[in-house]
Amino acid sequence: MNPPAAFDGTDFQLPGIALHGDKQLIIAISHAHSLRFNRRRLEGHLYGPWDIVLNYLVTDMRPNTFVVAQYCLDGKIASLADSVITLAGKGKGNKQHTPDFTIIMTIPVQRNDDLLLSLEINADLTDWEEVYVLFSRTPTLVELKRPPTRRPKSFEVFISGVQKFLQRAQDQLMLQASKVFESQPDCKEVVLIASSGVWWQWKICTHMGIKEKAIRQPPTHLDQPEESPETSEDESSEDEDDEDPDDEYTVAKGKGPPVPTSSRTIRPRDQLNEKIYKEPKQKKITMNDLTVWNPPEPESSDDDEGFSMTADGKRKYPVKYFRDLGEPFMETLVNDVEKVKEERTNVWSNIIFLGSPISNQAFYIIHEFLKEVEHVLLEKAEVWVQKENGTQEAQDAEDGQNGQSSQEGAGQAGGSSSVQS
């Protein structure tokens, strides 16, 4: 008898897609990469599709698992065993410790009428304050970066852009993972996902792996305003075809660094040259000025070079979309999920295209990882709740005995006083 073939997970569907279909996700991805609605390839537009992907990933899990954007890993430790909350190195809202998305698992409890705790939540939506979140865990961190250019001069330029953005995401995720392990001592593993548009990478980062490997200092670009329209030459330009600058932070054209108020020279008002407004001369209107619309001159093209020249003299390359970057850049299929899980422990995957069979396989492994974390967390929570309820029941029994003794004592005292009278 032949041994059963190893399961590869390539047919896995996100639970949300199996329930709702993939039309919403397709449209969200198209909008995020749209030349019309995201001309500057802004990172924020990617929140739409990746929010759908991550929520679809946890659709079939318990309601205590959900997705949060911009969740600050502020270093709070909640010890489930001792029910004590302490502080350990607050992140102070630093962006370095704030992933774009975090999958959070919580342990919520609710007291019944008999004051016993329950893990089953049946509160009404307007009575949410009756639910107390006892503990939380962050098993998955996601960092997004803007998509690569749509109009690359060559394939090498495109792949270089993808790698550059993914590397930046990885750098931030490693810092964030170290904060998770610092603030959650019981956490042994966390899944990290780095994305540049529909291109993404992942790995299972272990606490021991971070201890064994010295974390290099964060690049300077992490401390600067990242890819904002005011500081990024590529995004501030009206033409999205400009190539990305070499540095993450570039002073906007025509602007120097900000000058502190204390260093500015304040001139007396009488020394200011006040300009007097003069009305411009009225231009004489001719018949040529009455033309409603003059079509622009056609762009000069050079088919041999593969680009066209815009009106301001810039080269404009054609839009190119890639799905397969080939070896050695793309992740290759391994027909055994256990082997893939072993290979991806503390080692980043190669680049994956969202929606491909390899992408399905990776999300299957991540989904199973989340289910296992949830199972272990609930087992610990059930033990803790049983312990707390046992303590509460013993206290109630003791209070009942004390109350009964008090009543008996009061009754005996009342009987003796009546006899004396």
Q: Looking at the domain assignment, is residue 23 inside a domain?
A: no
Say which residue the tokens 């610990």 belong to. 380
Q: Which of 46-50, 117-121, 153-157, 242-246 has the lowest mean pLDDT?
A: 242-246
Residue 250: pLDDT over 50: no
Model pLDDT, residue 24: 96
pLDDT of residue 319: 76
Is 82 a domain residue?
Answer: yes
Whether residue 202 is predicted with pLDDT greater than 70 in this model: the reply is yes
What local confidence, expressed as pLDDT, does residue 65 receive? 96
Structure tokens at 233: 């030459």
Judged by average pLDDT, the poorest of 111-115, 321-325, 412-416 is 412-416
pLDDT of residue 194 exceeding 60: yes
The residue with tokens 């079509």 is: 295
Quick one: pLDDT at residue 235? 40
The answer to whether residue 364 sits within a structural domain is yes
Q: What is the pLDDT of residues 290-303, one digit of tens each?
A: 555 454 454 444 44
* Side chain identity at residue 413, one-letter code: A
Question: Residue 31 — pLDDT band, cuts 50, 70, 90?
Answer: very high
What is the length of the chain? 421
Output the DSSP codes for 302-357.
Answer: ETTTTEEE-TTS-EEPPP---S---TTTBPPP-S-HHHHHHHTBTS---BEETTSH
Six-digit token string for 318: 């054609």
Residue 188 lies in a domain: yes
- pLDDT level of residue 304 (50, 70, 90 thresholds): very low
Write out pLDDT tens, residues 158-187.
999 999 999 999 999 999 999 999 888 888
Q: Which domain holds residue 373?
A: 43-217+330-404
Comparison of pLDDT for 79 and 356, the residue scoring more = 356
pLDDT band at 122 (very low <50, low <70, confident <90, very high): confident
Q: Does residue 81 sit within a domain?
A: yes
In a domain, 231, yes or no: no
What's the CA gap between 45 and 179, in Å, rounded? Answer: 27
Report how far residue 302's alpha carbon sits from residue 142's, in angstroms, rounded to the nearest whole number.
42
Query: Mind listing the pLDDT tens digit for each residue in 363-391?
Result: 999 999 999 999 999 988 888 888 888 88
Is 204 a domain residue?
yes
pLDDT given for residue 96 in this prediction = 74
Residue pair 241/316 in contact by the 8 Å Cβ criterion: yes
3-state secondary structure of 282: coil
Domain tally for the chain?
1
Question: What residues contact 172, with CB distance under 8 A and at least 6 apart?
Answer: 96, 99, 143, 218, 222
Cis peptide preceding 357, ω within 30 of 0: no
Can you tell me the mean pLDDT for 296-321?
59
> Buried (b) or exposed (e) across 25-52, using 16+ Cβ within 10 A?
beebbeebbeeeebebbbbebbbbbbbb
Greater confidence (309 vs 38) lies with 38
In a domain, 261, yes or no: no
Separation between Cα atoms, residue 224 and residue 146, nearest integer Å: 16
Which residues have C-beta within 8 Å of that of residue 410, sequence separation ≥ 6? none
